[in-house]
Structure 1
Amino acid sequence: MEQWEKAYDKWQSFPHLEPSLKNELANMKDNTTALEDAFYKELTFGTGGMRGILGPGINRMNIYTVRKAVNGLANYLQVNCVNVKDRGVAVSYDSRHMSQEFALETAKVLGAYGIKAYVFDSLHPTPLLSFAVRYLGTAAGVMITASHNPPEYNGFKVYNEDGGQITPAEAEAIIGFINEMKNELTVPIVERKQLEEQELLNWIGEEVDNAYLAQLKQISRLSDQEQQVKKDLQIVFTALHGTSYDLVLKGLAQLNFSNVAVVKEQAEPDPEFSTVASPNPEEHQAFTMAIEQGKMVNADILIGTDPDADRLGVAVKDSTGEYTILTGNQFGSLVLDYILSHSDKALLTNARMLKTIVTTEMGSAIANAYGVETIDTLTGFKYIGEKIRQFDTTGETFIFGFEESYGYLIGSFARDKDAVQAALMACEMAYFWKKQGLTLLDALDVLYEKHGFYLEGLSQLTLQGKEGAAQIKAIMDDVRKTPLTEIAGLNVLQVEDYLSGERTIINKNHNVEKIELPKENVVKYILEHDSWVCLRPSGTEPKIKCYYGVCEKSREASEERLASLKSTMEAVMERK
């Protein structure tokens, strides 16, 4: 009997298996391929927590895999944090299938250890969970979400006591405790009624929302007088069936942005995300309804958040009257320039801008123009949050953080990317430029003319299941064994291997430098002409991603260079 068959047999013979999971297993009994995929390995837990398809099995999201993860977290907290039982754990959840149930399961396992759970009484954005951890002073936080994944997914994200996503070292320690529980089906729990009677389950109401909104108002660069003025800006907003509706509207109202048209069909939470192919604002189809409504009301700006409201998409009208969706790199660059141009110069000396290694170098150019230091982190906002935590002790000042995948943070009262903050800043910037007769696209052109035509791109290759994982590994192994020396006619100047932690300078001596960042399965090529390419397997999806960046003196030259890099690297990825 193979290992997966043993795991399957344990589940199907368990007398108290949850009825819906039992029925799903019965329906799968003749599908060997599906059963093997559900049981051939345990769902991976990493620095992003765990994320997977809902269903029965150890490689699926269900009450038992969630309980096992919480059990490991509870044991980790008791060893590594002080006063855990009273401080407790904050828990939030989004609009997905089983999200509320998984949040309650989290409280039930924590309660078995006498650890209090503070659970939001309704669905809430991820950045509110981050804020709640800090506001309530809990020992950790848990967010039930699969972000913008398809409807059949859900996930479990863990936050440390600073409100940031757990670091690799913290994740490794938690994994050790998770693995101590050999049978996910027998994790101890306490039922809801008993938890409430013993005050181990506490419901979070409006207090945290109100405290967050008070902080949210402080990120504005408008004067107190300007904040009181009714704004001449027509906004269209879509929550894409997620969690942001109330907080975005309340945040905008605080600054007197009253002309907000909501895409009503997408305002209600819907775990099927029935009006979009994907609830991801990075994908243009998610803006179809917002664009239609924008044309109807002659909107100046369209804003859309993903289901757990940690990513924001923005679209603005171009010179032809059509709406152009900004990339994450473009919007982040605009926000950075706006913040720095509206900051006291004396405060910028010690300021730090944070971005990831695959985020536009225009950010560095803008920061440098204002005398602000740029610090690069690995991909993932957890690393930006970790850096902000370090600033609390070093005395450096966090000014802005962003990543190309539509993640931004302005005020560090949250320690994860925050689409609510970004939505307010998008509208404030649009209002600021509109008063000068310009759009955000016009403002972007000003940045290009000043700093160069920085353009970026991304290719993704989806490789599902066990075979897909092997293919992704083969691609990464190949680029390490036989490193590329030129890409699309550009010589490679440096090879940065973040798994070995080494940067190789391509010269006659091939000098090697140490990379002072955590180890991660990423290879980046620095090329001639301010170009670069980076290969990285996704940490949350069955994909390998290739990022590109170029900078030429004209848009046309940059677009040509980018297309050449893209076609070359897609061939590299697909040859496996």
Structure 2
Amino acid sequence: MHAERKRRPVSEVLETPPADWERILNQDGKLRPSTGDSKLDSAVRQWLLQDKNPKTSAMIQEMVNQGDVKELKKCFSSRMEFGTAGLRAAMGPGISCMNDLTIIQTTQGFCQYLEGSFDNLKERGVVIGYDARAHPPSGGNSKRFARLAAAVFISRGVPVHLFSDITPTPFVPFTVSHLDNGYKVYWENGAQIISPHDKGISKAIEENLEPWPESWNIDNALKNSLLKDPYKNVYTDYFKAIQKHCLHSEINKLSEVKIVHTSVHAFELHPPYAVEEQKNPDPEFPTVKYPNPEEGEGVLTLSFALAEKEGSCVVLANDPDADRLAIAEKQESGSWRVFTGNELGALLGWWMFYCWKRQNTDEGSVKNLYMLSSTVSSKILRAIAVKEGFHFEETLTGFKWMGNRARDLLDQGKTVLFAFEEAIGYMCSPSVLDKDGVSAAAIAGEMISYLATKNTTLSQQLTTIFNDYGYHISKNSYFICHDQDVIRNLFERLRNYNGQKDSYPTECGRFSITAVRDLTTGYDSNQPDNKALLPTSRSSQMITFTFSNGGVATMRTSGTEPKIKYYTELCTAPGDSDVTTLKKELDELVDAIIEHFFQPQKNKLQPKPE
């Protein structure tokens, strides 16, 4: 094991020791001045011995010089958790952040895990892409991280397909499926990793924390014959693959609809109007408070202004790494409607099925067709499936579950047409077994063009879908909470309601509860043996309540943010268009949930910012 190698002297580890190195370490390598916490001292000392990035090492040095134990503990209290397909954390120094050293350590562990999993890894290789994110104070940026990861693999003789430029996230799993393996992390099936790989990789990372001799050597890696650039071929092949799932030759040239967005030219759509201030990558995201179109109107202000100027009625928006899609449409009143993730799931699901029917005349083949959504997303696809005769399945939250389930179905010879999650993530083609904002934007553009030829808006089409399959109204939000004890107590209270052990609530205000599913403990009252069918995890909180009025509410913790999220939905039967009553009922249900399930801890929770 590389972690068992004899530790090298400081002079061999650091290319350029810090100017005040003597102030930080004694001759025996012990930290000076001491923080008074031996465990923290040891972690800081280890960092200073291993980090070759002068900016992050200087940041830690300054904290030590100033005796800033609070900040040091933030940097070294816990290592980033290897969870949903990889690592998520702010860029900065220390083991709790994304930086050169933690990227090297993570990649070394991942590399060793792959070496133990694939006998032919040196023939297959890995795929690495990167986005535009950067953090100048620490010298960290995605391009450098990608090159460091490449250096690690190449040092072990593993071929690397490293994109030469900023890459939409969906290009990586697409390349994995067409070439080798990938690192966000995607497994050989092109889907994000799930257990046991996440746990195995985490263990391998802990066993390979000391940088290998060539892991810092980017220059040698970039000159190595094992390094290939897949960008040009993948760009062409990706759009060819996506086009197979569309009717672009029949529709897009007929429509004169104007769309504000970035480039979607591959589908023969009329060139969209690009928002000049936002079309080029900028790691500082200067035009928005938070660069996520899921946040709604605030992120789309510049898009609306351009649309007004050019006479466009539709805005399409991707996030910076292009794996999510938001859509807004100008209403007759002059206001803009930003569709929810569930509403777009209904529209895109309807459109994908419409296109499939146009291309498949064998009525019996519908029985081989599947659509998927996450368990906290709208069940509109289930309603469509029941009426149209195809299959619908729900999975745990996240595309790692939908992607892997899609792969299983594809391997069985099934057709997986569409999958989505309410957080504006859409999989419109099995060519990418992950959320893909690029293909979703192109396919949405085609749908918009088609509707324009029928003089129909997106809002009108959504109403038609709800009339045909039943109105599905959702109301989702969250509370912020940084105290894990408060979160734990809130959920444990629901599992031991009114002080009765292993007893869940049977009512919530005036609403009766008919079923409970707890995917933390594995309990499901709807199953004969009370055992949940979906995978369970003790490391996260998730409880779903079903109500006598047909309402469904799920409460869960976020895997990446200090949030307790709740998702609710009510629906009508097909043909029932009493939306006003439905919305009123849902509002009252959400109010009851907040009062009865959140209230005991509510003074310790921060509501979602307006």
TM-score, normalization: structure 1?
A: 0.89
In terms of mean alpha carbon deviation, does 278-287 or 519-528 score higher? 519-528
Q: Distance in 2 between matches of 1:161 and 1:434?
A: 41
Q: Which of the two has greater strand per residue?
A: 1
Are residues 311 and 16 of structure 1, via their aligned partners in 2, closer, same or farther at CA, if it must alter by over 3 Å? closer
3-state secondary structure, aligned to 1:314: strand
8 Å CA contact retained: 1:433, 1:440: yes
Q: Any unmatched runs of 5+ in structure 2?
A: 1-35, 135-140, 498-503, 602-610
3-state secondary structure, aligned to 1:265: coil
Q: Distance in 2 between matches of 1:16 and 1:353?
A: 47
Q: For residue 185 of structure 1, report the CA deviation from its aligned partner.
A: 5.5
Q: Distance in 2 between matches of 1:184 and 1:488?
A: 56
Which deviations, in whole Å up to 9, do the C-alpha atoms of 1:519-547 show, x marking residues without a partner? 13321111121211111111122222111
Q: Which residue of 2 aligns with 1:33?
A: 70
Which deviations, in whole Å up to 9, do the C-alpha atoms of 1:491-535 show, x marking residues without a partner? 111111112222014xxxx96432222213321111121211111
Are residues 230 and 3 of structure 1, via their aligned partners in 2, closer, same or farther at CA, if it must alter by over 3 Å? farther
Q: Distance in 2 between matches of 1:141 and 1:273?
A: 27
Q: Distance in 2 between matches of 1:67 and 1:548?
A: 41
Q: Distance in 1 between matches of 2:407 and 2:570?
A: 32
Letter in 1 for 2:217: E
Q: Which residue of 2 aligns with 1:364?
A: 382
3-state secondary structure, aligned to 1:50: coil
Are residues 370 and 16 of structure 1, via their aligned partners in 2, closer, same or farther at CA, if it must alter by over 3 Å? closer
Are residues 478 and 10 of structure 1, via their aligned partners in 2, closer, same or farther at CA, if it must alter by over 3 Å? farther
Q: Which residue of 2 aligns with 1:504?
A: 525
Q: Distance in 1 between matches of 2:405 and 2:50?
A: 48
Q: Distance in 1 between matches of 2:448 and 2:251?
A: 14
3-state secondary structure, aligned to 1:47: coil
Q: Which residue of 2 aligns with 1:530?
A: 550
Pick from 131, 148, 151 the counterpart of residue 108 of structure 1. 151
Are residues 471 and 61 of structure 1, via their aligned partners in 2, closer, same or farther at CA, if it must alter by over 3 Å? farther
In terms of mean alpha carbon deviation, does 387-396 or 260-269 score higher? 387-396
- CA RMSD in angstroms, aligned pairs only: 2.1
Q: Which residue of 2 aligns with 1:431?
A: 449
Q: For residue 13 of structure 1, report the CA deviation from its aligned partner.
A: 4.3
3-state secondary structure, aligned to 1:164: coil
3-state secondary structure, aligned to 2:185: strand
Pick from 349, 354, 359 the counterpart of residue 336 of structure 1. 349
Q: What is the correspondence of 1:162-311 to structure 2 with a 5 Å cutoff?
A: 162-181=189-208, 183-184=209-210, 189=215, 191-222=217-248, 224-227=249-252, 229-237=253-261, 245=262, 249=263, 252-284=264-296, 285-311=298-324
Q: For residue 4 of structure 1, report the CA deviation from its aligned partner.
A: 5.2
Q: For residue 11 of structure 1, report the CA deviation from its aligned partner.
A: 4.3
Letter in 2 for 1:516: L
Q: What is the correspondence of 1:87-166 to structure 2 with a 5 Å cutoff?
A: 87-97=124-134, 98-136=141-179, 138=180, 140-142=181-183, 157-166=184-193
Q: Distance in 1 between matches of 2:99 and 2:599?
A: 34
Q: For residue 184 of structure 1, report the CA deviation from its aligned partner.
A: 4.6
Pick from 504, 520, 530 the counterpart of residue 513 of structure 1. 530
Are residues 225 and 426 of structure 1, via their aligned partners in 2, closer, same or farther at CA, if it must alter by over 3 Å? closer
Are residues 474 and 65 of structure 1, via their aligned partners in 2, closer, same or farther at CA, if it must alter by over 3 Å? farther
Are residues 333 and 48 of structure 1, via their aligned partners in 2, closer, same or farther at CA, if it must alter by over 3 Å? same
Pick from 552, 558, 583 the counterpart of residue 559 of structure 1. 583
Q: Distance in 2 between matches of 1:125 and 1:555?
A: 38
Q: Distance in 1 between matches of 2:340 and 2:347?
A: 11
Are residues 487 and 320 of structure 1, via their aligned partners in 2, closer, same or farther at CA, if it must alter by over 3 Å? same
Are residues 254 and 478 of structure 1, via their aligned partners in 2, closer, same or farther at CA, if it must alter by over 3 Å? same
Are residues 574 and 109 of structure 1, via their aligned partners in 2, closer, same or farther at CA, if it must alter by over 3 Å? farther
Q: Distance in 1 between matches of 2:77 and 2:51?
A: 22
8 Å CA contact retained: 1:313, 1:326: yes
3-state secondary structure, aligned to 1:339: helix
Letter in 2 for 1:548: T
Are residues 234 and 374 of structure 1, via their aligned partners in 2, closer, same or farther at CA, if it must alter by over 3 Å? same
Are residues 66 and 470 of structure 1, via their aligned partners in 2, closer, same or farther at CA, if it must alter by over 3 Å? farther
Q: For residue 360 of structure 1, report the CA deviation from its aligned partner.
A: 0.4
In terms of mean alpha carbon deviation, does 183-192 or 389-398 score higher? 183-192
Q: Distance in 1 between matches of 2:50 and 2:116?
A: 33
8 Å CA contact retained: 2:511, 2:589: no
Letter in 2 for 1:107: A
3-state secondary structure, aligned to 1:412: coil
Q: Which residue of 2 aligns with 1:478?
A: 493
8 Å CA contact retained: 2:124, 2:159: yes
8 Å CA contact retained: 1:360, 1:454: yes
Off by >6 Å, runs of 4+ in structure 1: none
Q: Which residue of 2 aligns with 1:150?
A: none
3-state secondary structure, aligned to 1:428: helix
Q: For residue 53 of structure 1, report the CA deviation from its aligned partner.
A: 1.3
8 Å CA contact retained: 2:293, 2:319: yes
Q: For residue 92 of structure 1, report the CA deviation from its aligned partner.
A: 0.5
Are residues 107 and 432 of structure 1, via their aligned partners in 2, closer, same or farther at CA, if it must alter by over 3 Å? same
Q: For residue 258 of structure 1, report the CA deviation from its aligned partner.
A: 1.5
Which deviations, in whole Å up to 9, do the C-alpha atoms of 1:284-304 show, x marking residues without a partner? 211111111111222131000
Pick from 431, 436, 442 the counterpart of residue 418 of structure 1. 436
Matched, 1:489 2:517: no
Q: For residue 186 of structure 1, report the CA deviation from its aligned partner.
A: 6.1
- Figure out how many residues of one structure are paired with residues of the other and give that number: 538
Which deviations, in whole Å up to 9, do the C-alpha atoms of 1:266-300 show, x marking residues without a partner? 00101111111111111121111111111122213
8 Å CA contact retained: 2:85, 2:186: no
8 Å CA contact retained: 1:71, 1:187: no
8 Å CA contact retained: 2:254, 2:453: no
Letter in 2 for 1:334: L
Which deviations, in whole Å up to 9, do the C-alpha atoms of 1:17-68 show, x marking residues without a partner? 4210022223434433222122111111113311011111111111111111
Q: For residue 332 of structure 1, report the CA deviation from its aligned partner.
A: 0.9
Aligned identity (percent) is 28
Q: Distance in 2 between matches of 1:13 and 1:289?
A: 45
Letter in 1 for 2:600: R
Are residues 169 and 99 of structure 1, via their aligned partners in 2, closer, same or farther at CA, if it must alter by over 3 Å? same
Which deviations, in whole Å up to 9, do the C-alpha atoms of 1:203-236 show, x marking residues without a partner? 23311111111112222134x3445x25311000
